[in-house]
Each structure stands twice: as structure tokens, then as C-alpha cells.
């Protein structure tokens, strides 16, 4: 069963350093959760992911349900065995994917593939607009959606989401929620929040039922799954606080903070929520991974983050450095025979130059994505580890100011 222990608190802030014990190992928090959407971290092997400092991997419920199917993962012995990852694992609820296919369809706020060919065809059939092209429709009971792969119709309810996640078998899973657009007005944010609360209760009831059934199976209780409830409410303080209060009063093992955020929200909305959520339980901020966001989230009490940005940007040639992000396709790197960063300890920087990496991207070689991903994932994992150490060493503010002033001061010149 999940066990969270706080080792040190950040003086004058909500931040803390701790350990999170799961069935597949201990996570030193705060920690960056590496996204392995389809039971794989793109371009890397599980051994490489571990060597880069990743402690925990998050897979995507929506995608694994569609392909290869959660029943196959169950037959394979669960996510860990299926993908050969022996560390802690998480799955999301599928709620964000519902949002992406529904209210946000075609609005460039989706984190998943939006089915471009389906959109183009639908627009052509509907006068060139997205209004009739959404692939998901939400009602009180759940959501009906069409696969972005083949257009087939499916239905998720809170109970179905939990059943799928139990079949996938991650250590930590999330209650089914409705993630609204950041542009949605107060009235709809409140409506969606209340629906999320009702779905949270149904998710929790189904989760407890399934965990109880597993205890009748020899040894199954040893890998009991932990469920996190999700706080919603958009950027409205009263809704965020209300949602945090309602969700915290339910018997969840931990909590997720959902919704789309801007940088200032790391210091406001996240703080509103974590002032209310129980201190003794872990908190996960969904879909956040920019360096400044990590600092803001951590000092406001976040323990875990997940985001596709480091790996996705790497595959497109955008590389993290201590002086800001660079685009390796820029002409100036074609004859730059220095590593990405001289002091970096990653495999890529120890063995290859920017000129070689630029060549690989220009030649569209598969190894380009691998070498860039190695560096970016190492960079973000090390950054969070350094932030954690700065809290232990009681020099968080100094480390934060030094890192961010350098990272963002030079970023525009890259």
C-alpha cells in the first residue's frame, strides 16, 4: 500500500521533500514522472529511462485501452511486466483525452494526437468548422467518444475508467474527471467541477470494490493499487478551494491537481489547493514540466509532476540547456563540435557534438530522437533532483534565482 513520508519542509512555503513507497519501489519526492504514453518512453529502452534518473513512469489509459487493449495488459501480468519496467508506475484516468476530443477539439490545446485526417474530413462535411466535429460528448453518466485511430465509438464512465486502470495494473491511478478548457467561463467550470466530484465518488466506490475482490485472490493484495482524486475548478479561486475541500474529504490515497495552467498559476491556484489538501498525502500536478513551473509547483507543495514536453521537444530538435532551450536545427550548430553542455553527465553530451546531433536531425535519422531525448530527460530529472537537494540544504531560494535568471536571460538568444 502507498506510504508517504515527509522528510523536510521548505521554510515559509508549502514545499517539502519526502519519500513515496509503492509496490514497485520508493520514489524520492519531489520527482518528475516520465511519460510513457503507450507503455513506452518514445525512442528509449526502460533501462535507458532508469539510467537517466527516472523513478516513475506514467502510461495513458485512453491510448492503452484503444491499443493494444487493457485486457491484453492484464493477461500479460500488468503494465510493469508488459513494458519491462521494474519501478513505480502511474496511469491517468483518460479524462484529459476526453477533454481533448470534446470541448478542445481543434483548438490547439490538446496533449494527444487529435486525428487530423478525421478533422479534415469532418470540416469538409460541416462547412469548414469544428463545431460539429468533436469526437467526444459528455453527459452525467460519462462520455461517449470516437477513437482517433479508426472512428469507432466507445464509452467511458468513472467505473469503466477504474476497471481499465486496474487491468493495466499501475501502482497509482487517477479518478475519472472532466478537464475543462482554460477558456471556459465560470458557469461551466462550476458545472464540470461538480460533475468531477460526483465522478470522484463513483471512481472511489468502484476502486474499493475491485481492491476488495483482489484480496480474495492469493497474493493479489500485495500489489494493491492506490487511487488519487483530482481537484478541478479552473483559474477561479473559490472553485479551486471548494474542489480541494470536497475531494480532500474523500478517502483517496493521494491527490491530483488538474486543469490547464499558466506560469502564474504555479504560485496561485496550486497554492490555493495545497493549503487545503491533507499534508500527509502526496500531491501530483498533471501535465506540467517547464523549469519555471517546476520551481513554482514544488515550493507550493507539489510532490510529483508529469509532462510530455521534455521528450516530445527532444524528438523535434528542441534541447534543454542551462542557458535556455536551443533548436539544434539552427544553422550555427552545423559546425559546432562541442557537446550540448560540457558539464552535463548524460551519455549524449559525453560522446557526441551538437554538429553530429544537427546532422542526425537534418538527415532524419532515428538516432537523432534517441540522443536528444537522453539529454532532455537527464536534464529535467537532474533539475528536480537538484531542487530536492536545495530544500534539504536549505538554499532553495538561492538555487531557484540562480537557475532561472540564467535559463531565461539567455533563452531568447539561442
Active site residues: 92, 306
Give the whole-angstrom CA distance, residue 305 versus residue 29: 10
Q: Are 167 and 70 in contact (CB under 8 A)?
A: yes
Cell of 196: 468531477
Give the whole-angstrom CA distance, residue 190 versus residue 194: 6
SS3 breakdown of the chain: % helix, strand, coil, rounded to 5?
A: 45, 15, 40
If you ran DSSP here, which 8-state letter would residue 280 be given? Answer: T
Q: Degrees (nearest 5) of the Cα angle 212, 214, 218?
A: 125
According to DSSP, the residues that pair with 172 across neighbouring strands are 90, 226
Backbone angles phi, psi at 223, to 5 degrees: -115, 45
Which of 336, 325, 280 shows the shortest CA–CA distance to 4? 280
The SS3 assignment for 119 reads: helix
If you ran DSSP here, which 8-state letter would residue 225 be given? Answer: P
Give me the sheet containing 25-29, strands edge to edge: 3-9, 16-22, 25-29
C-beta atoms surrounding 159 within 10 Å? 19
The SS3 assignment for 25 reads: strand
Cell of 167: 487491468
Using a 10 angstrom Cβ sphere, with 0-12 exposed, 13-18 middle and 19 or more buried, the burial of residue 224 is middle
Cell of 262: 499558466
CA separation, residue 4 to residues 13, 19, 171, 390, 405 (Å): 19, 6, 14, 20, 33
Q: Are 128 and 122 in contact (CB under 8 A)?
A: no
Which of 190, 205, 196, 191 shows the shortest CA–CA distance to 176? 196
To which residue does cell 477533454 refer?
Answer: 99
Task: Characterize 285-312 residue by residue with b for buried, 16 or more Cβ atoms within 10 angstroms of its Cβ, and e for exposed.
Answer: bbbbbbbebbbbbbbbbbbbbbbbbbbb
Cell of 96: 484529459
Amino acid at each position: 500500500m502507498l506510504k508517504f513520508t515527509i522528510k523536510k519542509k521548505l521554510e515559509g512555503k508549502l514545499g517539502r521533500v519526502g519519500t513515496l513507497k509503492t509496490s514497485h519501489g520508493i520514489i524520492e519526492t519531489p520527482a518528475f514522472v516520465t511519460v510513457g504514453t503507450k507503455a513506452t518512453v518514445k525512442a528509449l529502452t526502460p533501462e535507458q529511462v532508469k539510467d537517466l534518473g527516472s523513478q516513475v513512469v506514467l502510461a495513458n489509459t485512453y491510448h492503452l485501452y484503444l491499443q493494444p487493449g487493457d485486457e491484453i495488459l492484464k493477461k500479460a501480468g500488468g503494465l510493469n511486466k508488459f513494458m519491462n519496467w521494474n519501478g513505480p508506475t502511474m496511469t491517468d484516468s483518460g479524462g484529459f483525452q476526453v477533454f481533448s476530443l470534446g470541448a478542445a477539439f481543434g483548438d490547439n490545446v490538446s496533449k494527444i494526437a487529435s486525428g487530423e485526417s478525421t478533422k479534415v474530413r469532418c470540416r469538409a462535411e460541416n462547412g469548414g468548422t469544428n463545431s460539429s466535429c468533436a469526437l467526444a460528448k459528455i453527459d452525467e453518466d460519462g462520455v461517449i467518444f470516437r477513437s482517433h485511430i479508426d472512428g469507432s465509438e466507445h464509452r467511458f464512465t468513472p467505473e469503466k475508467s477504474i476497471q481499465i486502470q486496474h487491468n493495466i495494473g499501475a501502482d497509482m491511478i487517477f479518478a475519472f474527471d472532466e478537464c475543462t478548457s482554460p477558456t471556459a467561463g465560470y458557469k461551466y467550470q462550476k458545472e464540470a467541477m461538480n460533475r468531477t466530484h460526483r465522478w470522484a465518488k463513483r471512481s472511489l466506490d468502484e476502486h474499493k470494490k475491485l481492491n476488495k475482490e483482489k484480496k480474495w485472490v492469493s497474493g493479489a493484495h500485495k500489489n494493491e493499487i492506490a487511487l488519487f482524486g483530482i481537484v478541478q475548478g479552473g483559474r477561479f479561486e473559490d472553485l479551486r478551494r471548494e474542489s480541494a475541500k470536497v475531494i480532500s474529504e474523500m478517502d483517496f490515497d493521494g491527490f491530483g491537481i488538474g486543469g490547464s495552467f499558466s506560469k502564474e498559476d504555479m504560485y496561485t491556484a496550486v497554492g490555493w489547493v495545497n493549503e487545503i489538501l491533507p499534508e500527509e498525502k502526496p500531491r501530483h500536478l498533471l501535465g506540467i514540466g517547464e523549469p519555471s513551473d517546476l520551481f513554482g509547483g514544488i515550493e507550493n507543495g507539489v510532490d510529483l509532476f508529469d509532462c510530455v514536453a521534455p521528450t516530445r521537444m527532444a524528438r523535434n530538435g528542441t534541447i534543454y540547456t542551462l542557458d535556455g532551450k536551443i533548436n539544434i536545427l539552427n544553422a550555427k550548430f552545423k559546425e559546432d563540435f562541442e557537446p550540448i553542455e560540457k558539464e552535463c553527465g548524460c551519455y549524449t553530451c559525453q560522446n557526441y557534438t551538437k554538429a553530429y546531433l544537427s546532422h542526425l536531425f537534418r538527415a532524419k535519422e532515428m538516432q537523432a530522437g534517441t540522443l536528444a531525448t537522453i539529454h532532455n530527460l537527464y536534464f529535467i530529472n537532474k533539475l528536480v533532483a537538484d531542487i530536492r537537494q536545495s530544500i534539504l540544504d536549505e538554499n532553495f531560494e538561492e538555487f531557484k534565482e540562480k537557475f532561472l535568471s540564467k535559463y531565461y536571460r539567455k533563452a531568447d538568444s539561442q
